[in-house]
C-alpha cells in the first residue's frame, strides 16, 4: 500500500524482486474482500425500512456507487504491484457486486460505476494537455498498449456483472480532493469520446450517464458542452438518461446559466452535483439539494433512481 496525499503525486518506492514476490504470495493466500457489499447490504436495511414507512416513495431505487478498479489501485497501491493486484482486486470487486445483487431485490437496486481517476489516463494521451496541467502526470497507467481500449474493456467488464433487471449507470468526474480537481477540462470531449467507445461495446443497456460541469467552465460554457451534440443521439438510441453535474452549492445563478446553455445541445436531462457529496459539509450539501429541487421538476415513474451521485 501507499500513503495517499490529496492533490499530490503518489510517492513510488523501490522494491526488490524478492519483496514483490513476497507480496504476491501473501495476496494469493487470502481472499480479498472489498467490504462494499457489507456496507450496501447494511444501508439497504435502513432504506427498506424508510420505504416501508413511506418516507421514501415506492418507485425509488437504492443506488450503490462503486469506484472503478483504477480509482483504488492507482492512488493506494505501489506502482510495482499494480499490474499484479489489478486482477485480484477486480475479482474481489465483482464478488461484491454479485453479493449485492443476491441480497438486494433487483427492482429496488441501481448500481453506479464511478469513473474519475480513469479520466486522467485518457486526458493524458494529449501531450499538450499534460504540459498544461501537471496533475495529469500524477497518475500513470500500469498497463502497456492502447489506453482507450484497455479502459473501455475494464469498464465494460464491470457493466457486464450487473444483471439486466438491475439499473446501471456511469458517473464521470475529475476528482474532488479537498474540493479541487486534478485537471480542469476544456470541454466534455474526453468524457464523450470514452462514452462512445463504451456504448459501442456494452452488452447491456446503460440506464443513466452523468457528466461533470465544473465552475471553471463558466467563461466558456457553450464550448465546454458542445461535445454533447455527439453523445445525445447515442443516449436517445440506447434510452439512457443523461444527468448533468451542474448544481453548485451557493451558486444558483451559475446552475441556471448552465442549464440554459445545456438546453442548446441536450433538450432533456436531469441535474446532479458535479461530483459526490462524500466530503461535503451538510450545509453545503443541503444547498445542493435545495438548488436541485428549485431547478427541476419531480420525476415520478417506475424507472426513477435516487441517490448521491458519487463519493469520489
Supply the range of the domain harboring residue 120. 17-295
Can you give the pLDDT at residue 298? 76
Q: Residue 5: its pLDDT value, please?
A: 60
Q: Residues in the chain with pLDDT < 70?
A: 1-10, 132-134, 176-182, 278, 299-312
Instruction: Give alpha helix (H) positions in the chain.
Output: 17-29, 36-52, 69-76, 79-103, 118-123, 127-132, 147-160, 189-201, 221-225, 228-238, 252-262, 282-295
Widest distance between CA atoms in the chain: 60
Give the model's pLDDT for residue 311. 40
pLDDT for the residue 210: 98
pLDDT at 174: 83
Q: Is residue 129 part of a domain?
A: yes
User: Is position 195 within any domain?
Assistant: yes
Assess if residue 310 is contained within a domain: no
Domain assignment of residue 237, yes or no: yes
| 187 in any annotated domain | yes
Domain tally for the chain?
1
Question: What pLDDT sits at residue 307?
Answer: 37
Cβ contacts of 112 within 8 Å, gap of 6 or more: 63, 64, 65, 66, 168, 169, 170, 171, 208, 307, 309, 310
pLDDT given at position 282 = 86
Instruction: For residue 45, give the CATH number of its domain.
Output: 3.20.20
Euclidean distance between CA atoms 98 and 93, whole angstroms = 9
Look at residue 5 and tell me if it is in a domain.
Answer: no
Q: Is residue 272 part of a domain?
A: yes
Looking up cell 457486464, which residue turns up? 160
- Is 303 part of a structural domain of the chain? no
Amino acid at each position: 500500500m501507499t500513503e495517499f496525499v490529496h492533490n499530490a503525486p503518489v510517492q513510488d518506492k523501490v522494491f526488490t524482486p524478492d519483496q514483490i514476490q513476497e507480496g504476491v504470495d501473501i495476496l494469493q493466500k487470502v481472499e480479498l474482500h472489498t467490504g462494499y457489499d457489507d456496507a450496501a447490504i447494511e444501508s439497504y436495511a435502513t432504506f427498506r425500512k424508510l420505504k416501508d414507512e413511506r418516507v421514501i416513495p415506492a418507485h425509488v431505487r437504492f443506488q450503490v456507487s462503486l469506484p472503478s478498479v483504477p480509482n483504488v489501485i492507482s492512488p493506494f497501491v505501489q506502482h510495482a504491484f499494480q499490474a499484479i493486484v489489478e486482477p485480484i482486486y477486480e475479482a474481489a470487486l465483482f464478488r461484491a457486486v454479485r453479493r449485492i445483487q443476491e441480497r438486494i431485490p433487483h427492482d429496488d437496486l441501481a448500481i453506479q460505476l464511478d469513473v474519475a481517476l480513469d479520466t486522467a489516463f485518457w486526458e493524458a494521451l494529449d501531450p499538450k494537455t499534460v504540459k498544461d496541467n501537471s496533475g495529469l502526470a500524477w497518475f500513470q497507467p500500469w498497463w502497456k498498449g492502447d489506453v482507450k481500449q484497455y479502459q473501455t474493456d475494464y469498464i465494460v467488464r464491470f457493466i457486464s456483472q450487473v444483471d439486466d433487471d438491475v439499473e446501471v449507470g456511469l458517473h464521470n468526474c475529475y476528482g474532488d480532493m479537498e474540493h479541487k480537481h486534478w485537471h480542469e477540462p476544456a470541454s466534455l470531449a474526453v468524457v464523450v469520446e470514452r462514452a462512445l467507445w463504451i456504448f459501442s461495446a456494452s452488452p447491456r443497456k446503460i440506464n443513466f450517464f452523468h457528466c461533470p460541469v465544473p465552475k471553471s467552465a463558466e467563461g466558456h460554457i457553450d464550448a465546454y458542452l458542445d461535445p454533447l451534440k455527439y453523445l445525445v443521439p447515442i443516449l436517445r438510441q440506447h434510452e439512457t438518461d443523461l444527468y448533468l453535474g451542474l448544481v453548485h452549492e451557493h451558486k444558483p445563478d451559475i446552475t441556471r446559466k448552465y442549464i440554459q446553455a445545456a438546453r442548446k445541445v441536450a433538450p432533456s436531462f436531469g441535474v446532479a452535483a458535479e461530483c459526490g457529496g462524500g466530503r461535503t459539509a451538510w450545509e453545503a450539501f443541503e444547498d445542493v439539494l435545495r438548488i436541485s429541487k428549485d431547478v427541476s421538476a419531480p420525476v415520478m415513474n417506475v424507472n426513477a433512481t435516487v441517490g448521491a451521485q458519487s463519493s469520489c
